[in-house]
Structure 1
Amino acid sequence: MNITSLVTGGAGFIGSHVAKELIKLGHNVIVLDDLSGGNKDNVPTEANLYVGSICNEKLINSLFKKYLFTYVYHLAAYAAEGLSHFIRRFNYNNNLIGSINLINASVNYNVKCFVFTSSIAVYGENELPLKEEQYPQPEDPYGIAKYAVEQDLKNAKQLFGLDSIIFRPHNVYGPHQNIGDKYRNVVGIFMNQLLQNKALTIFGDGEQSRAFTYIDDVAPYIANAVNIKEAYNQTFNIGDDTVYTVKQLAEEVSECFNSQTNIQYLEKRDEVEHAYSCHKKFEQVFQPQPYISLKNGLEKMADWVKEHGARTSNSFENIEIEKNLPPSWRN
């Protein structure tokens, strides 16, 4: 069977790894990415890259008409939870309206399954560990947009029969991550700061707790999900179980660079204090391999980062609301 899959955000971090795994599975892969956070070098050579936005409805429809995609893997997003409060229109245009363009086209062109990477941001402050059956209470516009797309996919199944699989990953790190974005991806931010001999910046006291997941514990399962019928029309938390504070993470990352842990504490920002999830449902359906430890995963990413060097962290140019914006994000 000739399988053609669309990977949105396929020049980005998780998307490029999913594209690589799909090629291993024999898919013909088309990547759509606007390169706002991704890089052409991340795209597997076997994939066909189109540079453009999921907000471009005309482009979306032309690609679906040309390729008649079997599957859609939607990973394109601007995943800056904290910043999303201050770029609300940008957030909803990119993370919600762009997603709806893809869902519409998937219905119209009879896509067999729509695989969507949501986020544990949909849970907000909730009983820990976070579980799929809990009622989502997103606390930032990013999480609100992700949950809205989840709800729209359920509606598209009910009305049009569009099958989907939803993943809620969290704090994924590894090679190909954009370490030059000061608003998101704390592991990448720390490594970029260490390469420049700068202090590691932490909002608040560093006691916020998270679980961190190496990319190889996520991408292969997202790619292969369409081959697991029990996964269809289900939602899965995906990621590691081991919980660390942000301060502990800073110490672990510093160790990978043989550096003393030098932390600069910044003003506390509005964020969920503790967020980590239960993965029993995922493990029952996907039967994953043992997770890569944080130490081993950080070493793998550090090797890649040292090879590619530091990156300049640019400021977001179109802040929509200045009120209550953290001072460190103002320049």
Structure 2
Amino acid sequence: MTILVTGGAGFIGCNLVRRLQSDGADDVRILDNFSTGFEENLSGVDVEIHRGSILDEEALARAAKGAEAIVHLAARPSVPRSIADPMASHQANATGTLMVLEAARREEAHVVLASSSSVYGANPTLPKNEDLRPMPVSPYAVSKLATEAYALSYQSVYGLTVLPFRFFNVYGPWQRAGHAYAAVVPQFVSQALAGLPLTVHGDGEQSRDFTFVDTVTETLSLAARERISSPDPVNLAFGTRHTLLDVISRLETILGTPLTVEHVEPRAGDVRHSQADQSRLRELVASVTPVDLDTGLAGTVEWMKRLNAPNSGR
């Protein structure tokens, strides 16, 4: 099966490429402009690399030629980044998705794509089920709502089979820290390993449905290979809920040392609590067993230790 992964050199993408190959996909290719992904993320992986942007129609057409499925992960991530430059987020996430859907329509390819739990925004209901009213509070969230809406419209109008997943706080190996828009888990782990205070925006009682990347890639691989589709968006998370302070406590146990916390101002556009209703997901991928938080955090710590080790080659 020929599968194209857009954003395949990024955090989730490079993990997915490895999963697809282990699951037997015989032709895996990526399209990435390496603006946030890294070529070294693909070290040791036999994958066809297409360099370019999803906004480049010719590059996208070459990468998608003959693809039976496209997993669309390429995006401009981060709520703060979208607040700093909303036009760039719209172009990458909304317009970029539209171009991927056009490429898929030409190839009659199945499309699995990444939306975000951020679309729920200010809606206070927990857990978040997909029938709740979206109330996005950042340009990033709006662009992701457009992403899934475009996909579902193509399914309705053109008969393209699609599956838009709403990701919830994915973490794990190959997720980098050390930049202004780093996700919270790699930032915490990196600071802890360096002996630095852990930066917490706000009081740390905000909660998230953390999902280990291996669980996400298992789900994405299954959905792409079996051409699973849905008439509605689907949460890709399993109904857990942990505060940031709880994550820090678990990291203290894993590392065997107390950690210092530095509280700073809350970030604009962040939601207070997030937790998925997994009912719709379970109807589609009942076989997936999620990795628990302690196991996932331990695996993340071990990977980051190797990343930071002398002569790691990464």
Common fold, TM-score beyond 0.5? yes
Moved more, 55-64 or 155-164: 55-64
Amino acid aligned to 2:264: L
Moved more, 188-197 or 251-260: 251-260
* TM-score for both structures, normalised by structure 1: 0.87
Give 1:63-212 correspondences, 5 Å limit: 63-64=63-64, 67-111=65-109, 113-126=110-123, 127-212=125-210
Moved more, 251-260 or 13-22: 251-260
The aligned counterpart of 1:281 is 280
Q: CA deviation at 1:82?
A: 2.9
User: Aligned pair 1:53/2:50, yes or no?
Assistant: no
8 Å CA contact retained: 1:226, 1:232: no
8 Å CA contact retained: 2:239, 2:275: yes
User: Aligned pair 1:39/2:38, yes or no?
Assistant: yes
C-alpha deviations, 1:240-272, integer Å up to 9, x for none? 322111122122223323331201110122221
Report the CA distance shift for 1:231/1:162 in structure 2 as closer, same or farther (over 3 A). closer
Secondary structure of the residue that 1:72 maps to in structure 2? strand
- In structure 1, what is the Cα distance between the partners aligned to 2:303 and 2:171? 12
Secondary structure of the residue that 1:223 maps to in structure 2? helix
- In structure 1, what is the Cα distance between the partners aligned to 2:288 and 2:152? 29
Report the CA distance shift for 1:229/1:47 in structure 2 as closer, same or farther (over 3 A). closer
Any unmatched runs of 5+ in structure 1?
311-331
Q: CA deviation at 1:109?
A: 2.6
The aligned counterpart of 1:323 is none
Secondary structure of the residue that 1:282 maps to in structure 2? helix
- In structure 2, what is the Cα distance between the partners aligned to 1:142 and 1:27? 34
Report the CA distance shift for 1:266/1:181 in structure 2 as closer, same or farther (over 3 A). same
Amino acid aligned to 1:146: K
Amino acid aligned to 1:240: F
Secondary structure of the residue that 1:275 maps to in structure 2? coil
Secondary structure of the residue that 1:15 maps to in structure 2? helix
Amino acid aligned to 1:284: E
- In structure 2, what is the Cα distance between the partners aligned to 1:38 and 1:230? 27
Q: CA deviation at 1:106?
A: 1.3
C-alpha deviations, 1:115-136, integer Å up to 9, x for none? 1011111111221100011121
* TM-score for both structures, normalised by structure 2: 0.91
C-alpha deviations, 1:73-130, integer Å up to 9, x for none? 001112212331111111112111221111111112322x111011111111221100
Q: CA deviation at 1:200?
A: 0.4
Amino acid aligned to 1:189: Q
The aligned counterpart of 2:251 is 253
The aligned counterpart of 1:220 is 218
- In structure 1, what is the Cα distance between the partners aligned to 2:14 and 2:231? 24
Report the CA distance shift for 1:22/1:233 in structure 2 as closer, same or farther (over 3 A). farther
Secondary structure of the residue that 1:118 maps to in structure 2? strand
8 Å CA contact retained: 1:208, 1:246: yes
Report the CA distance shift for 1:267/1:279 in structure 2 as closer, same or farther (over 3 A). same
- In structure 2, what is the Cα distance between the partners aligned to 1:274 and 1:56? 37
Amino acid aligned to 1:116: L
Q: CA deviation at 1:229?
A: 5.9
Moved more, 176-185 or 157-166: 176-185
User: Aligned pair 1:305/2:304, yes or no?
Assistant: yes
Q: CA deviation at 1:288?
A: 3.3
Amino acid aligned to 1:107: R
The aligned counterpart of 1:62 is 62
8 Å CA contact retained: 2:6, 2:31: yes
Among the aligned pairs, what percent are the same residue? Answer: 30
> How many pairs does the alignment contain?
305
RMSD: 1.8
- In structure 2, what is the Cα distance between the partners aligned to 1:234 and 1:22? 24
